[in-house]
């Protein structure tokens, strides 16, 4: 298991290097530039700005400089937010996205695993069809439709919850964004859990446990749940990274100052360093999450430790 862990850690280095290089080249060859909104400046002033940010250098030299600064933990200055570095912007926005994402994933796991397990136990019955229909509905409805509906119902009509923003940071401001983030994940997790649980319940060790007279609750919790969660665990790697870094649509609709909003603004404004910083941060997070998933696999299935 230790050798496998070290191999996964070492394989992350070339993966991140390829990701950084491709993202760097793609954003540089995209039409437009960070100073397009300032064309009224004299050409010599614009040339000095480009030189100050090393944008007048050849692309390979810019990439090498960026990688060297990245090794020192420096994401560079933001082109649009002149008084902040990219590190400061990520450090200020990521805790907000982390809080929303962690709450949303916890809610998605709780509801998704419970719904999938119940559907598997009631296979091809009314409860199974109802739960899977609801899951398909949750997958089909995009966030840009679901989030405004939640605001319309719970904030405008019922006036139970605030429509957006973080306010004083209390939980009532987080309820609607968390639900909007969690519901699609609930649907995916429920379907994965149902399919895996049906397969596990047909396994010989489950039939043996039933023959010994163990109650179904004990069989599910002690024997069937851990192997049934393996497909869910595979899905959680990229899903957790995506949901923690924040949904662009959800953060825009609810006015949440998270990481997703900075990524969108950086892309629209051609803020090269900000976009690259978010891409590198997001890619690193995905690699770390997948690594933790591999470690968790060994705990759920001891056979993989070999």
pLDDT confidence of residue 113: 92
pLDDT given at position 218 = 85
Q: What's the pLDDT score for residue 183?
A: 87
pLDDT of residue 302: 59
| Series of mean pLDDT values for 10-residue runs along the chain (306 residues) | 69 83 84 63 72 78 87 83 85 85 90 91 88 84 84 88 79 88 88 90 84 84 83 79 71 81 79 86 81 70 57
pLDDT value of position 234: 79
CB within 8 Å of 9: residues ≥ 6 apart: 291
This prediction has a pTM of: 0.79
Residues 177, 97 contacting (CB under 8 angstroms): no
The token pair at 145 is: 């439709």
Helices (H), the chain: 2-29, 43-52, 59-71, 86-121, 126-140, 143-150, 175-201, 204-211, 216-218, 225-228, 230-244, 248-253, 259-268, 272-300
Q: What is the pLDDT of residue 73?
A: 81
Q: What is the pLDDT of residue 299?
A: 64
Cα→Cα distances 306→100, 117, 252, 290, 294, Å: 37, 29, 46, 19, 13
Q: For the packed helices 272-300 and 259-268, what is the interaxial angle rounded to 10 degrees?
A: 140
The answer as to CATH 1.20.810.10 being correct for domain 90-261 is no
Cβ neighbours of residue 24 under 8 Å, at least 6 residues apart?
Answer: 62, 63, 66, 276
């Amino acid at each position: 298991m230790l050798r496998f862990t070290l191999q996964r850690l070492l394989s992350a280095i070339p993966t991140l290097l390829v990701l950084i290089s491709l993202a760097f080249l793609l954003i540089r060859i995209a039409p437009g530039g960070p100073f397009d909104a300032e064309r009224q400046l004299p050409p010599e002033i614009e040339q000095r700005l480009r030189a100050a940010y090393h944008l007048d250098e050849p692309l390979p030299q810019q990439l090498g400089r960026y990688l060297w600064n990245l090794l020192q933990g420096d994401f560079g200055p933001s082109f649009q937010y002149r008084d902040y570095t990219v590190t400061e912007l990520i450090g200020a926005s990521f805790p907000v996205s982390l809080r929303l994402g962690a709450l949303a994933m916890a809610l998605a796991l709780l509801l998704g695993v419970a719904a999938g397990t119940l559907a598997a136990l009631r296979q091809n019955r009314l409860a199974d069809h109802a739960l899977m229909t609801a899951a398909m509905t949750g997958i089909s409805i995009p966030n840009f439709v679901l989030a405004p509906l939640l605001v319309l119902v719970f904030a405008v009509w019922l006036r139970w919850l605030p429509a957006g923003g973080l306010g004083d940071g209390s939980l009532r401001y987080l309820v609607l964004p968390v639900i909007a983030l969690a519901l699609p994940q609930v649907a995916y997790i429920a379907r994965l859990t149902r399919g895996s649980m049906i397969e596990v319940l047909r396994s010989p060790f489950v039939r043996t446990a039933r023959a010994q007279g163990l109650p179904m609750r004990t069989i599910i919790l002690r024997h069937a749940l851990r192997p049934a969660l393996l497909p869910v665990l595979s899905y959680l790697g990229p899903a957790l990274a995506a949901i923690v870094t924040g949904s662009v649509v959800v953060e825009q609709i609810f006015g949440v100052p998270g990481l997703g909003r900075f990524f969108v603004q950086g892309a629209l404004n051609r803020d090269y360093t900000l976009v690259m910083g978010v891409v590198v941060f997001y890619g690193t997070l995905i690699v770390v999450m997948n690594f933790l998933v591999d470690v968790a696999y060994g705990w759920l299935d001891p056979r993989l430790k070999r």
